[in-house]
A = this chain, B = another copy of it.
Amino acid sequence: MAVTIKDLARETGLTAATISAYFNGANVRPYNKEKIERAIDRLGYVRNDYARGLRTHRSMTIGVLIPELSNLFSTTIVSEMEEDLRKKGYGIIVCDCRSDAAREKESVRFLMSKMADGLIVIPVSSDGSAFTELAASGTPVVAIDRITDSKNISHIVINNREASKEAVASMINEGCKSIAIVCGETDVYTAAERFAGYAEAMEEAGLGEKIVAEVGHFSIDGGYRATKKLIGENPDTDGLFVTNYEMTVGAIIALKELGKEVGGDIAIMGFDNVEILKAVYPGIKTVSQPISEIGRTAAETLLAAIEGAPVSDKVLKAKMD
């Protein structure tokens, strides 16, 4: 059995209440303080968060709920948040709902049972129904990457539409005449916004014909298939806007197989981290999201909400590079 506060009490001749006071920053006689610290060392005491949490109704853990943990964007954010939250004494319980709304709901209950003090979420259900109940009951929720309809939760997103519009406009500027987009299904917020930006840029340039492939899974494979199909049906496409990292990788594989030279026959505008691709194909451009900043902002916003701050939405800016 683990060492408890009672053991410290026995060891020091003090009472549990005093030891607790010591831990919680109350004034303790220097002499006793030293005794307590010696006892902690000797006995190897570690405070039991479960007992503490039960008493205080604060678990000091944050639930993190992600559609796909195998995705670079998600894990980078998780990594950032883990660091920030740990600094404030919080641990994170990570759940992967595999882009499934039912699993998302189930995960919320799971995190409730863990008494999570708050949730940071990339929402799957666009109505946010999985969270509103929770948020209404007083546990703050911060959604990142995607907007939901819920007024009870805070949202941290980027300016998907503007950034995409600008990106496509720059492709047009570089001389592309026939630009296709590979994007996710437009019932996902980010996909819809990025598509809208693409469409706006095309229309403003008077390039009427939009070439679109919607991809169910935002994966390498999804991007690969979509690109194959797209180029098969529209062989004179000279520009490709691919709206996430994994799909960009897939698109490049497909183009390679089709014998198209990236940057020559066809220009690519990708999304996020493509360090290796850029090295291999210097011509490639991407829209980069401020991933670390998103994570940091989410952590900050949630902690503020836990301290009582009201719901607040934030839009961060992506940049082209």
Which residues from chain A sit less than 8 Å from chain B, CB to CB? 1-2, 44, 46-51, 53-54, 57, 59, 61, 69-70, 72, 75-76, 78-79, 82-83, 86, 91-96, 98, 109-115, 133, 137, 220, 249, 252-253, 256-257, 275-277, 279-280
Q: Quick check: A93 and B47 within 8 Å, CB to CB? A: no
How far in angstroms is the closest Cβ of chain B from A244?
14
Q: Quick check: B279 and A277 within 8 Å, CB to CB? A: no
Q: Quick check: A256 and B280 within 8 Å, CB to CB? A: yes
List the B side residues contacting A49 at CB < 8 Å.
113-115
How far in angstroms is the closest Cβ of chain B from A296?
15
C-alpha spacing A45/B133, complex, angstroms: 13
Closest to A3 in B: B137
C-alpha spacing A70/B137, complex, angstroms: 34
C-alpha spacing A220/B276, complex, angstroms: 9
Known: A47-B113, A50-B53, A82-B94. 6 other contacts (CB 8 A): A2-B112, A46-B112, A46-B113, A48-B115, A91-B110, A256-B279
List the B side residues contacting A257 at CB < 8 Å.
279
C-alpha spacing A227/B59, complex, angstroms: 47
Closest to A279 in B: B253
Q: How many copies does the complex hold?
A: 2
Q: Quick check: B82 and A137 within 8 Å, CB to CB? A: no
Closest to A96 in B: B82
Q: Quick check: B79 and A69 within 8 Å, CB to CB? A: yes
Chain A at the B interface: SS class: helix
Q: Quick check: B95 and A94 within 8 Å, CB to CB? A: no
List the B side residues contacting A2 at CB < 8 Å.
112, 137
Q: Quick check: A79 and B50 within 8 Å, CB to CB? A: no
How far in angstroms is the closest Cβ of chain B from A85?
11
Closest to A249 in B: B276
Q: Quick check: A249 and B220 within 8 Å, CB to CB? A: no
When the two chains form the complex, which single residue of B54, B59, B76, B279 contacts A70, counting CB atoms closer than 8 Å? B76
The 6 closest A-B pairs by CB, nearest first: A253-B279, A69-B79, A75-B75, A46-B112, A249-B276, A50-B54
List the B side residues contacting A249 at CB < 8 Å.
275-276
Q: Quick check: B83 and A96 within 8 Å, CB to CB? A: yes
* A46-B112, A133-B44, A279-B252 known; A93 vs B92 contact (CB < 8 Å): yes
Q: Quick check: B91 and A114 within 8 Å, CB to CB? A: yes
When the two chains form the complex, which single residue of B92, B256, B275, B280 contacts A94, counting CB atoms closer than 8 Å? B92
Closest to A282 in B: B256
When the two chains form the complex, which single residue of B79, B253, B280 contacts A252, counting CB atoms closer than 8 Å? B280
C-alpha spacing A49/B86, complex, angstroms: 21
List the B side residues contacting A112 at CB < 8 Å.
2, 46
C-alpha spacing A48/B112, complex, angstroms: 8
How far in angstroms is the closest Cβ of chain B from A59?
6
C-alpha spacing A249/B172, complex, angstroms: 31
| 29 chain-A/chain-B pairs, Cβ below 8 angstroms | A48-B54, A48-B115, A49-B113, A49-B114, A50-B54, A50-B59, A50-B114, A50-B115, A51-B54, A54-B54, A61-B93, A69-B75, A69-B79, A70-B75, A70-B79, A72-B72, A75-B75, A83-B98, A91-B110, A91-B114, A93-B93, A94-B94, A252-B280, A253-B276, A253-B279, A256-B280, A276-B276, A276-B277, A280-B280
